[in-house]
Amino acid sequence: MKDQINTYLAEIEIFTAKTKDELEQFRIKYSGKKGILNDLFAGFKNVAAEERREMGVLLNELKGRVQEKIDTLRESLEGEQTAAGPARDLTLPVNFTDSGSRHPLMIIRNRMIEIFSRVGFTVAEGPEIEDDWHNFSALNFAPEHPARDMQDTFFIEKDPDIVLRTHTSSVQVRVMEKTKPPIRMIFPGRVYRNEAISARAHCFFHQVEGLYVDKNVSFADLRQTMLYFAKEMFSADTRIRLRPSYFPFTEPSAEMDISCNLCGGKGCGFCKYTGWVEILGCGMVNPNVLKNCGIDPDVYSGFAFGMGVERITNLVFNVKDLRMFSENDVRFLQQFESAWQ
């Protein structure tokens, strides 16, 4: 009986009627006095007690489907056959629904994830409310180190151990504490700093951090990965340069520039006539950081990098004012509808 009902259900699903007559035949076949439904309901008393429940549900479903089919086909056949033309008035105004579009920052973030995932990086996330250890101490920021001033954040007076994270580097620590190398991951997320809001700075923004820890990871691996990223993100003829820099959590550390994507490196107002624009910080993971996270720096080495999503988005879409990203002005946001999603 069960198989039979399922066959009927499939038949009903695909049934369609071209004329009212065909529909009437269908109705008689299933819902007529001597129709299938009556037949099945009559046979229900013979169903074994333990199958009754399931069979009852199935039978009722079949009944519902038959009625549904009859109703929809009748409606559409009547619509087509009225002398006055189609039942639907095509001149009535339409209810427009805006499909919306992705936020430009998310378009770029997704693009970054896609680029890095192609070379084996997976994604992890961490909390925006951090503790001092993960945001600073484990990353080799000594308590009084001046580098902490460069990333002033919002502390909670009652408990200065709790901070809004200033960078996604904190997720490196969380991952390394829990995962054995090899680790090849990126960490996208929102970060906070105690900054006055202007066209170039905001009290919150977004970063994508990267980490690769394994045996024999070298600076050459870092450079090649960054070159790959720059070419994929901007254009195949993009060049990169690494300048020595300082971060407590990397040694050596570097600031990375790309050849200006507006003038191609010739020099213009945008790149201040240098031909280069800075896009990220990177370096070899400081052995102290590996040790703090329980990874033996004599066995493993790694590289890390961190970049601002706003910065890259500004460069790709030529947005000049950071504040536009959080003002929710649809005139701004709509311009990215057709950009790569």
Q: State the minimum distance, in angstroms, from the CB of residue 254 to ligand DAH.
A: 8
Is residue 208 within 8 A of residue 168, CB to CB? The reply is yes
Q: State the minimum distance, in angstroms, from the CB of residue 307 to ligand DAH.
A: 7
Q: Can you tell me the distance from the alpha carbon of 258 to that of 218, in angstroms, rounded to the nearest whole number?
A: 21
Q: State the minimum distance, in angstroms, from the CB of residue 112 to ligand DAH.
A: 14
Nearer to ligand DAH, 26 or 250 (CB): 250
Q: State the minimum distance, in angstroms, from the CB of residue 331 to ligand DAH.
A: 31
Residue closest to 311 by CA, chosen among 250, 256, 244: 256
Nearer to ligand DAH, 40 or 304 (CB): 304
Nearer to ligand DAH, 27 or 301 (CB): 301
Residue closest to 150 by CA, chosen among 250, 53, 246, 74: 246
Structure token pair of residue 198: 């202007």
Nearer to ligand DAH, 265 or 306 (CB): 306
Q: State the minimum distance, in angstroms, from the CB of residue 207 to ligand DAH.
A: 6
Q: How many CB atoms lie under 10 A from the CB of residue 186?
A: 23
Is residue 131 within 8 A of residue 166, CB to CB? The reply is no
Contacts of 307 (CB under 8 A, 6+ apart): 207, 208, 279, 280, 281
Is residue 239 within 8 A of residue 274, CB to CB? The reply is no
Give the residues lining the site for ligand DAH (CB under 6 A): 167, 169, 209, 247, 250, 281-283, 304-306
Q: State the minimum distance, in angstroms, from the CB of residue 269 to ligand DAH.
A: 26
Nearer to ligand DAH, 170 or 259 (CB): 170
Is residue 300 within 8 A of residue 95, CB to CB? The reply is no
For ligand DAH, the nearest residue by Cβ is: 306
Phi, psi of 3 (to 5 degrees): -60, -40
Nearer to ligand DAH, 181 or 281 (CB): 281
